[in-house]
Amino acid sequence: MQGVGFRPFLYNLACELKLAGYVLNSSAGLTAEVEGDPAAIDAFVHRATEEAPPLAWIQQIETAALPPTGDRIFEIRESLDVTGEFALISPDVATCDACLAEVGNPRDRRFLYPFTNCTNCGPRYTIVQDVPYDRPNTTMARFHMCADCRTEYKNPRDRRFHAQPNACPACGPSLSAPVHEAIRQLAEGRIVALKGLGGFHLACDARNAAAVELLRTRKRRSDKPFALMCRDLEAAARICHVSDVERGLLLGPQHPIVVLPRLEGSGIPEAVAPGNRTLGVMLPYTPLHYLFFRGAPFDTLVMTSGNISEEPIVTRNEEALDRLRPVADWFLLHDRDIFMRTDDSVVRVFEGVPRLLRRSRGYAPQTVEMPHDTPELLACGGELKNALCLTKGRHAILSQHIGDLENFETLAFFEETLVNLRTLFRVTPRAVAHDLHPQYLSTRYALSMTGVEHIGVQHHHAHIASCMAEHGLDGRVIGVAFDGTGYGNDGRIWGGEFLVADYRDFERRAHLRYVPLAGGDAAVREPWRAALAYLRDTFGEAPGDLLRDVPEARQRVVRQMIERGVNTVATSSCGRLFDAVAAIAGLRTEVTFEGQAAIELEAIVDPAEQGLYGFEVTTGDVRQLDLRPAIAEMVRDLREGIGPPVIAARFHNTLAHAIAAVCLHLREETGLTRVCLSGGTFQNFTLLERTLPLLRAAGLETFLHRLVPPNDGGIALGQAAIAAARLTTPSA
Interface residues toward Zn ion, by CB under 5 A: 96, 99, 118, 120-121, 146, 149, 168, 170-171, 483, 486, 712
Between CA 31 and CA 43, with CA 37 as vertex, the angle to 5 degrees is 60
CB of 146: closest distance to Zn ion in angstroms?
4
Q: Which is nearer to Zn ion, 314 or 398 (CB)?
A: 398
Q: Which is nearer to Zn ion, 121 or 512 (CB)?
A: 121
For residue 346, the SS3 value is strand
Q: Which is nearer to Zn ion, 170 or 419 (CB)?
A: 170
CB of 693: closest distance to Zn ion in angstroms?
25
User: Measured between alpha carbons, how far apart are the two ends of the chain, in Å?
Assistant: 38
CB of 462: closest distance to Zn ion in angstroms?
8
Neighbours of 75 (CB within 10 A): 13
CB of 722: closest distance to Zn ion in angstroms?
14
Neighbours of 308 (CB within 10 A): 17
Q: Which is nearer to Zn ion, 58 or 170 (CB)?
A: 170
Backbone phi, psi, residue 516, to 5°: -85, 120
Q: Which is nearer to Zn ion, 142 or 220 (CB)?
A: 142
For residue 530, the SS3 value is helix
Q: Helices 628-639 and 574-584 meet at what angle, rounded to 10?
A: 20
Q: Which is nearer to Zn ion, 170 or 251 (CB)?
A: 170
**Region label for 219, one of left (φ > 0), alpha (ψ between -120 and 50) or beta (otherwise):** alpha
**Cis, bond preceding 54 (omega within 30 deg of 0):** no
CB of 318: closest distance to Zn ion in angstroms?
27
Q: Which is nearer to Zn ion, 268 or 574 (CB)?
A: 574
CB of 56: closest distance to Zn ion in angstroms?
15
Q: Which is nearer to Zn ion, 595 or 644 (CB)?
A: 595
Cβ(341)–Cβ(316) below 8 Å: no
Q: Which of 551, 553, 531, 550 is nearest to 542 (CA)?
A: 531
CB of 714: closest distance to Zn ion in angstroms?
9
Q: Helices 527-539 and 574-584 meet at what angle, rounded to 10?
A: 90
CB of 290: closest distance to Zn ion in angstroms?
12
Helices (H) and strands (E) in the chain, counts: 22, 25
Q: Which is nearer to Zn ion, 22 or 482 (CB)?
A: 482
Q: Which amino acid is at 450?
A: T
In order of 110, 139, 211, 240, the CA distances from 282 in angstroms are: 25, 26, 20, 11
Contacts of 370 (CB under 8 A, 6+ apart): 391, 394, 395, 396, 469, 720, 721, 724
Q: Which is nearer to Zn ion, 365 or 496 (CB)?
A: 496
665-669 long-range contacts, CB within 8 A, separation 24+: 665/510, 665/617, 665/623, 666/478, 666/498, 666/500, 666/509, 666/510, 667/478, 667/698, 667/700, 669/509
CB of 31: closest distance to Zn ion in angstroms?
26
CB of 380: closest distance to Zn ion in angstroms?
14
